[in-house]
Amino acid sequence: MQYQNWGAQDLTAPARTQLPEVPVERGMVLEEVQSGWVGAVTRVEKSGGMHVVALEDRRGKSRSFRLGFGFLLEGQPIRLMPPVPKQTQAGGPAGGRTASGSVRVAGQRAQVAKASRIWVEGKHDAELVEKVWGDDLRVEGIVVEPLHGIDDLAAAVAGFRPGPGRRLGVLVDHLVPDSKESRIADAVMASPGAAGNVLIVGHPYVDVWQAIRPSVLGIEKWPEVPRGQDWKTGILKAFGWPHATKEDTGLGWQKLLGAVRTYADLEASLLGRVEEVIDFLTVP
């Protein structure tokens, strides 16, 4: 990795002393001014006697920079400081930020639900989206609903009657070229009223479980499940967890979900798609 040296940056000393000093926090989204690199903080470490922060962009690529001047937070220049010791940190993910990295709005009440919706394939997808983006969605008045599969997506969309002010965003598992899921999505988008009012996006994983970064679970990669075996059952077996019943699957998922604290714990291929849907539903 290359570390950025800020000694040559064109910032005067008086201006630097006036910048707010912000302790670095995992999940914080920063822009490094000199390179224009934008990413989420995934780790902070000491290297050569100095603190270094790793920023991962939405494509999953990471670069490391020295803490100090030359960063933007929410578009404002700051002096990035070492992390506050854990015992003095404010509770919740990333202090005053939501799990998605947004600034937490103090005292903000949830908005009345709008007509627009986010549909996901199942309960686990809905719980993951809720954990990371729930605070933001409540502010926007957007509800997430599980579909329990997309085989009947065309009929469901027709029944929803999408239109201006009644948009629909759909997050699909395993949306890859030439798959059953891609053919269903293409058919729905060709139906009357879908253009401009429906957005179908997806991630490449067999199941949303895989959207959790393996490092968050303390593993190098997700186990491979033999073809023909139920995928979730195979994963639980590989972890050495109970796997015989639906209750075992539910408990296993809760363990996995419990490891997720912020959006930095998820793969970029899911992050970008969820944020794309939220933008679609909230931008006029």
Percent of the chain predicted with pLDDT > 70:
81
- Taking CA atoms, 34 is separated from 29, 31, 61, 133, 255, in Å, by 16, 9, 18, 30, 40
pLDDT confidence of residue 232: 95
Tell me the HSE value of 47 on the side-chain side, using a 13 A CA sphere.
15
Question: What is the SS3 assignment for 268?
Answer: helix
Residue 167 has pLDDT above 70, yes or no: yes
Residue 110 has pLDDT above 50, yes or no: no
pLDDT band at 81 (very low <50, low <70, confident <90, very high): confident
pLDDT confidence of residue 85: 60
* Rounded CA separation 114/141 (Å): 5
pLDDT confidence of residue 59: 80
Average pLDDT over residues 254-281: 90
φ, ψ (nearest 5 deg) of residue 242: -55, 140
Closest listed residue to residue 199, CA positions, set 272, 110, 102: 272
Q: Quick: pLDDT tens for 213-231.
A: 999 899 999 999 998 999 9
pLDDT confidence of residue 201: 93
pLDDT confidence of residue 49: 59
Q: Which residue has the higher pLDDT, 229 or 85?
A: 229
pLDDT band at 83 (very low <50, low <70, confident <90, very high): confident
Average pLDDT over residues 74-79: 86
pLDDT confidence of residue 10: 38
pLDDT confidence of residue 251: 92
Q: Which residue has the higher pLDDT, 94 or 13?
A: 94
pLDDT band at 165 (very low <50, low <70, confident <90, very high): confident
Q: Quick: pLDDT tens for 6-61.
A: 333 333 333 434 688 888 888 888 999 988 899 888 888 775 557 888 898 878 88
Query: Which residue ranges does the chain devote to CATH 2.30.30?
Result: 3-88
pLDDT confidence of residue 44: 85
pLDDT band at 96 (very low <50, low <70, confident <90, very high): low
pLDDT confidence of residue 268: 87
DSSP state at residue 108:
P
pLDDT confidence of residue 254: 93
- Alpha-carbon dihedral 158, 161, 166, 169, rounded to 10 degrees: 0
Distance of CA 249 to the CA centre of its chain: 23
pLDDT band at 199 (very low <50, low <70, confident <90, very high): very high
Average pLDDT over residues 172-201: 92
pLDDT confidence of residue 6: 34
Average pLDDT over residues 69-84: 86
pLDDT band at 98 (very low <50, low <70, confident <90, very high): low
Strands 37-47, 198-202: pairing is: unpaired
Closest listed residue to residue 269, CA positions, set 129, 55, 59: 59
Query: What topology is assigned to 105-208 in CATH?
Result: Rossmann fold (3.40.50)
Query: Which residue ranges does the chain devote to CATH 3.40.50?
Result: 105-208
Mean pLDDT estimate for the chain: 82
Q: Does domain 3-88 have CATH number 3.30.110?
A: no
What sections of the chain are H helices per DSSP? 13-18, 123-140, 153-160, 180-189, 231-239, 246-258, 268-282
Question: What is the SS3 assignment for 188?
Answer: helix
Q: Would you state the structure tokens that stand for residue 129, as one six-digit string?
A: 């989206």
Could you tell me where the beta strands, DSSP code E, fall in the chain?
3-4, 21-23, 29-32, 37-47, 50-56, 62-66, 71-73, 76-81, 117-120, 143-146, 168-172, 198-202
